[in-house]
């Protein structure tokens, strides 16, 4: 039975600058029990579609034409009062960032029961019983009903929100980015909950996300949305095996995949068309590497392309051949050229001759790094003259709750051990990834590395100089050689500076007097990061650029002084999938060209595997495992690393992630552990783990883990862990 049927839906937003046709002629059918994943980059109309279905469009948005039928009722003709009855009872939605929508001053249980009594007509007793059942269903401890939202972790809040959405047994659940802001372990657990619920309740689900691996894990069919239209519809298996639209093809290849790592990721250059004046031809033609002349004129319709798939592409007949060609990343790079960019200029910076060497810009030809850790004592240090940076037993503590106000309130001062005795070293030109859940100290480590904060203990040695004792002049010298790339490109540039001003600032600070030289360097650097022609960008302000372009500017600012060392803190997590790969590829290429040592900080292991020579896994301020990327990913030793890797969703519907054996939630590191910091959550925990520091185990390839499982205490009696909820 068809539950939801949308015909030729058009939604417009009236804005100051004209009418935006956010959803433009969408047809969609949802069968009972179907789990549909709606994917596409931001600004493609996914959320607008959701809002149109439940009719909560913002005031400037209105439905121009079309039909939305829910169980045979035309929703657009329904009086508002009846529509109100329908929401939540029949169509439940989990909006974006809904974890934050719980009322902070009410117990979660009473919010749930209030909903049941007001909207569901339950009496007090039945509501309580139902609330308990619901909490059971989503895997929350029923004692939690009495808790306030601030006592919940992010994952628990999301579970509570799911419980609320399901409270009135809706026939349709629409979830908008339900796992986006969550850590991978929590994400894994929420996805498992969703999967179980689907099976148990035979739910009909529409899941909106930009992350195709989430779709692969939870959905049985996929619709790809682009520029207000649906460009492809298919069942999950054929979709992931052989996408039938170039956009889907690009999206799929833009994603790093832990199971099947790629040499190079594809970046769909450019961005979606301006929906105030959509192009008359295919909307993807501008960015499509396969676009023909007629693609720009003829508007393709969704057509059957066999195997129950529908795609809107003029060349869908030749898809099999195109799919093979799409494997070649240079094909997608050529789009850069086709869009009016100049071809990448070969060769290193003029004065870098001989250092980086003239490495061909195509990443496929880059020789594998010949230097990987060659096992030594002291947590990943490498014995070699070529060492650029060394961390020796570095710690960082923060004090919280102290001060005058704390004293008056009677709070005791607490110490947070953000980073504990970490040691590693980095060679010139090497790239190291720092991974771990949020709160594991990876960003603090990044700040320590660039001396934004000072270490409490330990020694950071950069190019032979101990950083703790530098004077102002030496510090300035250090500043010219070490740079930082930020997570949020929209905040990383001064909104009041033109790009020229932003890029020239570091040069002014470091005493470049001649303006012509400065300008020349700025133009050269912009050109390097593929912002071409550079002159066009000089006079722009940050708000005039897209996120991907901004991140390129941020990269350019980091590189304008030709540093030796770059720390990139979540460089692409705020960007759209389609442009992520472009930033990563450019960063990687430049790092190799310039012989730049790089530290990438990310929660995304597949991304680190793609970009880094070595990976370090951090937990509660300690490095628990470090080694060559492929070793750490394919042969993880530490139970925490194993859990992290198992939790990464695989963009392949035929592979289901294994169940996790650890619980969510990183404890706050306010105490120092005598034993292993991970012991509390570890499925393998032994008695020795609680009291004795685990030894560092190194193999001949420099892969080291800090765990009792491989040391002399391996036979210590196991602790019985509460089973993960």
Partner 1 sequence: MQQEASVRGEGRGKETMEFRQSSALRQLWETNLEVFQRDKMALFGLCIFAVFAIVAVFAPQIAPNDPLTPLKNNEGDWIKDAMPYWLAEPGEDEEEGYTNNFLLGTTNIGRDIYSQLIHGSRSALLVGFSAAAAVAVIGTVVGLLAGYYGGLVDAILMRAADVAFGIPFIPFIIVVSAFLDPSIWNVVVAMAALLWRDTGRVIRSQVLVIKEQAFVSAARVSGASDLRIIFVYIAPSILPLTFLYGSFAIAWAILTEASVSFLGFSDPETISWGFMLQDAFNSLALSREAFYWIVPPGLCIMLTVMAGFFIGRGYEEVLFPRLRRM
Which residues make up the interface to partner 1 (CB under 8 A)?
Answer: 270-271, 339-341, 404, 450, 452, 475-476, 479-480, 482-484, 486-488, 491-498, 500-502, 505-506, 509-510, 515, 533, 535-541, 543-546, 549, 554, 557, 561
Residues 6+ apart with CB under 8 A from 710: 637, 695, 697
Instruction: List the beta bridge partners of residue 462.
Output: 389, 465
Write phi, then psi, for 371 (nearest 5 degrees). Answer: -115, 115
Please tell me the number of Cα atoms within 13 Å of 672 on its side-chain side. Answer: 10
Helix (H) and strand (E) counts in the chain: 24, 24
The DSSP bridge pattern shows strands 387-400 and 696-698 to be unpaired
Q: Decide whether 341 or 371 has the Cβ nearer to partner 1.
A: 341
Is the C-alpha dihedral spanning 570, 575, 576, 578 positive or negative? negative
Task: Give the phi and the psi of residue 697 in degrees, each rounded to 5.
Answer: -105, 125
- Please state the closest distance from residue 582 (CB atom) to partner 1, in A: 13
Q: In the complex with partner 1, which residue's Cβ is closer, 59 or 496?
A: 496
Smallest distance from the beta carbon of 488 to partner 1, in angstroms?
A: 6
Q: Minimum Å distance from CB 591 to partner 1?
A: 17
Nearer to partner 1 by C-beta: 223 or 530? 530
Residue linked to tokens 């069919």: 221
Burial degree of 464 (CB within 10 A; 0-12, 13-18, 19+): exposed
H or E element that contains 415: strand 414-427
Q: Phi and psi dihedrals of 8, rounded to 5?
A: 45, 50
Rounded distance between C-alpha atoms, residue 505 and residue 384, angstroms: 35
* Closer CB to partner 1, 87 or 501, in the complex: 501
CB of 494 to partner 1, least distance (A): 5
Nearer to partner 1, 118 or 475 (CB): 475
Q: Is the CB of 304 or the CB of 494 nearer to partner 1?
A: 494
Smallest separation, CB 571 to partner 1 (Å): 12
Helices (H), 513-668: 515-528, 534-538, 547-559, 577-594, 605-611, 629-634, 639-647
DSSP-assigned beta bridge partners for residue 698: 704
Quick one: 445 or 637, whose CB is closer to partner 1? Answer: 445
User: What minimum distance in Å lies between the beta carbon of 599 and partner 1?
Assistant: 13
Least separation in angstroms between residue 588's CB and partner 1 is 21
Q: For partner 1, which is the closer residue by CB, 217 or 549?
A: 549
Q: Are 682 and 640 in contact (CB under 8 A)?
A: yes
CB of 516 to partner 1, least distance (A): 13
From the centroid of its chain, how far is CA 579?
A: 12
**Smaller CB separation from partner 1, 307 or 536:** 536
Minimum CB distance to partner 1, residue 643 (Å): 31
């Amino acid at each position: 039975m068809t539950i939801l049927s949308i015909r030729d839906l058009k939604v417009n937003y009236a804005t100051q600058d004209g009418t935006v046709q956010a959803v433009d002629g969408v047809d969609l059918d949802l069968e009972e029990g179907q789990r549909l994943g709606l994917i596409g980059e931001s600004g493609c109309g996914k959320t607008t579609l959701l809002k149109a279905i439940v009719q909560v469009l913002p005031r400037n948005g209105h439905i121009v034409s079309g039909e939305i039928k829910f169980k045979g009722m035309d929703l657009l003709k329904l009086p508002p009062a009846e529509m109100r009855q329908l929401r939540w009872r029949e169509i439940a939605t989990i909006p974006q960032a809904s974890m934050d929508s719980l009322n902070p001053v009410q117990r979660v249980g009473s919010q749930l029961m209030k909903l049941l009594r007001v909207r569901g007509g339950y009496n007090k007793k039945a509501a309580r019983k139902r609330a308990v059942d619901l909490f059971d269903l989503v895997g929350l401890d029923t004692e939690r009903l009495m808790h306030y939202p601030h006592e919940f972790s992010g994952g628990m809040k999301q579970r509570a929100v799911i419980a609320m959405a399901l409270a009135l047994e809706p026939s349709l659940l629409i979830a908008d980015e339900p796992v986006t802001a969550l850590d991978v372990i929590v994400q894994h657990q929420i996805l498992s909950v969703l999967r179980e619920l689907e099976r148990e309740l035979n739910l009909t689900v529409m899941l909106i996300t930009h992350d195709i691996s989430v779709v692969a894990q939870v959905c049985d069919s996929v619709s790809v949305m682009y520029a207000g239209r649906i460009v492809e519809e298919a069942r999950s298996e054929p979709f992931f095996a052989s996408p039938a639209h170039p956009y889907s093809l690009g999206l799929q290849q833009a994603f790093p995949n832990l199971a099947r790592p790629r040499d190079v990721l594809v970046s769909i250059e450019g961005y979606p068309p301006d929906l105030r004046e959509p192009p008359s031809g295919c909307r993807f033609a501008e960015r499509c590497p396969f676009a023909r002349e007629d693609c720009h004129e003829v508007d393709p319709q969704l057509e059957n392309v066999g195997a129950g798939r529908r795609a809107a592409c003029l060349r869908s007949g030749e898809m099999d051949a195109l799919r093979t060609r799409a494997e070649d990343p240079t094909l997608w790079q050529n789009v850069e050229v086709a869009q009016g960019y100049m071809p990448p200029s070969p060769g290193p910076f003029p004065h870098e001759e001989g250092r980086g060497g003239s490495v061909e810009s195509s990443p496929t030809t880059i020789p594998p790094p010949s230097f990987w850790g060659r096992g030594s004592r002291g947590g990943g240090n490498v014995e070699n003259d070529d060492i650029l940076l060394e961390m020796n037993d570095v710690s960082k503590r923060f004090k919280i709750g102290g001060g005058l106000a704390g004293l008056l309130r009677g709070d005791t001062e607490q110490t947070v051990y953000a980073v504990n005795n970490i040691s590693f070293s980095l060679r010139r030109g090497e790239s190291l990834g720092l991974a771990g859940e949020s709160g594991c100290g990876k960003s603090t480590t990044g700040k320590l590395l660039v001396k934004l904060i000072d270490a409490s203990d330990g020694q950071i040695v950069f190019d032979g100089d101990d950083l703790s004792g530098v004077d102002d002049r030496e510090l300035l010298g250090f500043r010219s050689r070490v740079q930082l790339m930020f997570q949020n490109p929209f905040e990383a540039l001064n909104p009041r500076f033109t790009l020229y001003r932003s890029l020239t600032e570091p040069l002014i600070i470091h005493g470049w007097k001649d303006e012509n030289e400065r300008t020349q360097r700025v133009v050269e650097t912009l050109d390097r990061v593929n912002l071409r022609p550079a002159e066009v960008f000089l006079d722009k302000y940050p708000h005039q650029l897209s996120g991907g372009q901004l991140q390129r500017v941020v990269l350019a600012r980091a590189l304008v002084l030709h540093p030796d060392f770059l720390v990139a803190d979540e460089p692409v997590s705020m960007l759209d999938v389609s442009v992520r790969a472009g930033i990563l590829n450019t960063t990687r290429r430049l790092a190799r060209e310039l012989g730049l040592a790089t530290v990438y900080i990310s929660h995304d292991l597949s991304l680190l595997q793609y970009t880094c020579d070595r990976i370090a896994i951090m937990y509660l301020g300690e490095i628990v495992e470090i080694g060559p990327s492929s070793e750490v990913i394919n042969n993880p030793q530490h139970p925490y690393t194993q859990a992290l890797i198992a939790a990464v969703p695989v963009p392949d519907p035929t592979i289901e992630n294994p169940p996790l054996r650890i619980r969510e939630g990183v404890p706050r590191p306010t105490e120092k552990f005598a034993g292993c910091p991970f012991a509390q959550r570890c499925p393998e925990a032994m008695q020795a783990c609680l009291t004795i520091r685990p030894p560092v185990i190194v193999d001949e390839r420099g892969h080291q883990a800090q765990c009792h499982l491989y040391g002399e205490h391996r036979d210590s009696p196991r602790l019985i862990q509460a089973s993960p909820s």
